[in-house]
Every structure is written in structure tokens, then in C-alpha cells.
Amino acid sequence: MWKKILASCLLAIAFTTPVMASDEPLTLDWIDLVPEAERKLFDSVGMPASDHSGGAAQQSKIGNVRPELNGSQVKIPGFVIPLEGDANTVTEFLLVPYFGACIHVPPPPPNQIIYVKFPKGAPVQELWDVIYVVGTLKTETINHELAETAYVIEGSKIEAYDDM
């Protein structure tokens, strides 16, 4: 009898724990946005290997999305390239994996740039600091004059980066 009760309790815990855990956003690294089959194309810092023998480098179009992430609540760190907003808040920005991406060097591939929308505005004080963006990730292509993006986040909050 006790074994049946214990087994029932363990099954209940096993099936309810994932539901409870789903309230937390999925914390992603940039490589997580790259399909497994394409990861070997990326170098150790997460960018496709570049050929610097020609003229001005263009954005690499390597990089499909991971459709299974579409609609997921996520949390991902990155640097902000503001697109819309005012002196105190941004409403739209590009989130990129390294400082200066899209500005000083060729943009990362589309699956390594996230177009972030915060309709109410989000405070971003120091643009050179890494932040976490939390929100709903969508697999959606946006062509902006700075770069093409393969993901969009409908932002819900910004958090300080605390990878210590």
C-alpha cells in the first residue's frame, strides 16, 4: 500500500515539476540560436569563419533558425544597438553578441542578431554594458539598414548581467 502511495506521489511530482519550471524563461547563449547541424561552421567565439582576402566584408548569410524556439520565453545576454527611443528609454534595438557588432565590423549572421521590441520602452543606461533581455522569442526575419535579423524578441524586461 505504501509503495503505491509513494509511487503515485513520485509520478505526480515528475509530471508537475516541468509545468512549474516553465514559468522561468529559458536562458540561452548565442550558440543556442544556431541549429546543431550548423554549429561546426562557427569558430570558437561564435562567429562563422571569415575570409579577409577580398574587399569590404558583408554580413554572412550562414545561419538558419531553430523553429522549435519560436514562441519560447527566453533570457539572453547581449549588447544593445539602439534603433528607436529617446534619451531615457529604447523601444526598438538590435541585441548582438559582442560590442561593436554592426557598427565597427561586418554584422554577425542573421541568426546571431535579435531585433528587440519594447513598446513601453526599456531603460538602457550604459550601451557598452552587457544586459539580459527577457521576452518572447520569434523566428522572424527583419531587414534593417544595419543588418538582417532572423529572430525577434517581444521584450518584457531587461536585467543586469550577472555572470560572476
Residue 19 has pLDDT above 80, yes or no: no
φ/ψ region of 30 (left if φ > 0, alpha if ψ in -120 to 50, else beta) reads alpha
Query: Model confidence at 104, in pLDDT bands (50, 70, 90)?
Result: low
pLDDT score recorded for residue 86: 87
Q: What does the mean pLDDT of the chain come to?
A: 80
Residue 25 has pLDDT above 80, yes or no: yes
**Which residue did the predictor score with more confidence, 127 or 56?**
127
Residue 63 has pLDDT above 80, yes or no: no
HEC assignment per residue over 39-98: HHHECCCCCECCCCCCCCCCCCCCCCCCHHHCCCEEEEEEEEEEEEECCCEEEEEEEECC
Query: Model confidence at 79, in pLDDT bands (50, 70, 90)?
Result: very high
Q: Span 9-29, mean pLDDT?
A: 62
pLDDT per position as a tens digit, 28-56: 999 999 999 888 877 654 555 544 455 55
Return the CATH number of the domain spanning residue range 24-45+54-160.
2.40.50.870
Residue 143 has pLDDT above 70, yes or no: yes
Q: End-to-end CA distance of the chain: give it in Å, rounded.
A: 49
pLDDT score recorded for residue 164: 54
pLDDT score recorded for residue 20: 45
Q: CA 101, 82, 122 angle in degrees (round to 5)?
A: 130
